[in-house]
Amino acid sequence: MAEYQTPKDRAYTNALLNAAPKESAAFMNLKHTAERADGVIPVKYRELMSVAVALTTQCAYCIESHINNAVKAGATREEIAETVFIAAALRAGGAVGTGLMAMRLFEEASSGTFNSGER
């Protein structure tokens, strides 16, 4: 198999949605509510936020969809580029933030105060 994930997978959208109708209906309602045009946050900013999140979750379909939506909403190449680097910085920041926990866990393990049975 040459491709693990491919745009051809979209052919299974209805199969997935129909296999779990209640869950898919709830998901689609949430998606449509979050992506609505009549919210306080303008559509372009919603889409730029969606691009940033899609970049951090690495959902190729989401990236493609929200880039297209952002362009339709008036986003510029420069705004997309800045969004990419904001997402990259926050993703890296997440590693630093959890790195603080790693340092604490190291200190606890090194000093013998960590008890894996308590967690």
116: in domain: no
On the question of pLDDT at 113 being above 90, the answer is: no
Segment holding 80, helix H or strand E: helix 77-111
pLDDT digits (tens, 9 = 90+) for 42-84: 999 999 999 999 999 999 999 999 999 999 999 999 999 999 9
pLDDT in tens, 32-41: 999 999 999 9
Q: Which amino acid is at 83?
A: T
Residue 17 lies in a domain: no
| Cβ density class 46-74: b for 16+ within 10 Å, e for less | bbbbbbbebbeeeeeeebebbbebbeebe
Do the domain assignments include residue 6? no
Mean pLDDT of 7-26: 96
**For position 1, what pLDDT does the model report?**
64
Number of compact structural domains in the chain? 1
Helices (H) then strands (E): counts for the chain: 5, 0
- Averaged pLDDT of the chain: 93
- The answer to whether the CB of 87 falls within 8 A of the CB of 56 is yes
Boundaries of domain holding 84:
34-111
CATH of residue 40's domain is: 1.20.1290.10
Q: Is residue 20 part of a domain?
A: no
